[in-house]
Amino acid sequence: MTRTITRSYDNYETARSVVEQLEASGISSSNLSIVGRNGDGETNAEEGAGIGAGLGGAAGLLAGLGLLAIPGIGPVVAAGWLASTAAGAIAGAAAGGLVGSFIKEGHDEDEAHYYAETVRRGGSVVSVRAEPAQEAAVEAILDGAAPIDRDTRMAQYRQEGWTRFDEKAEPYKGTTTII
C-alpha cells in the first residue's frame, strides 16, 4: 500500500535538491511533488519557468515546474500530483486548496495546515508517494537534507498566535525565524 511521506524545508533550493536525489535513487517523477517559495515570501516567475528547461530530461519532475497562485499563499513554484490536486481545487472553487490536497494524500488536518502555512511563510514542501519497499530510502533522503522539525515549528507558529492556515489571509510578508 502506497504511503505519502512529506517533509518541509526552509528554502526552495534544498527542496529542489531533495527531488533531484529522489529521482536519482529511482523514485518515479510521477510519485513526487514539490510546492515552494523563496524565503522572502516572493516567487521569481522567470526563475520558476526556466528551471525545468535548464535541467534537461534527467530532471523529470522539475522539468514540469509551473506557477500556481494559491489563496492565502500567493504565487508558488509547483510540480507533481500535489500541485495538480491543489490547482484543481482552486479552479473548481473547492474548499481546502492546498490543505485539502494534503488531507487527500493521507495527512491529518494539523499536518495539512502546518504544511500549507510553511509554504505561506516562504518554505517549501516535498511529498513522495512511496511503496513499502521504498519507504526507508525515501525517508533517508528526505531526512538527510535537514527538514524543518514539524513539532518545533508548529509550536513556534502557535506561540505567534497561529491556529491554522487561513486561505483568506494575505500572503505572509514577515520573516520566519529558523530554529
- The pTM of the full predicted model, rounded to 2 decimals, is 0.79
pLDDT at 77: 79
Quick one: CA torsion of 50, 53, 58, 61, rounded to 10 degrees? 60
Q: Which residues of the chain have pLDDT under 50?
A: 39-58, 89-95, 176-179
pLDDT at 17: 95
Q: Nearest 5 degrees, angle CA 75-CA 3-CA 140?
A: 80
pLDDT at 98: 81
d(CA 77, CA 126): 12
pLDDT at 170: 72
pLDDT at 134: 96
pLDDT at 81: 74
pLDDT digits (tens, 9 = 90+) for 35-50: 987 544 444 444 444 4
Q: Is 29 exposed, middle or buried (0-12, 13-18, 19+ CB in 10 A)?
A: middle
pLDDT at 95: 40
pLDDT at 124: 94
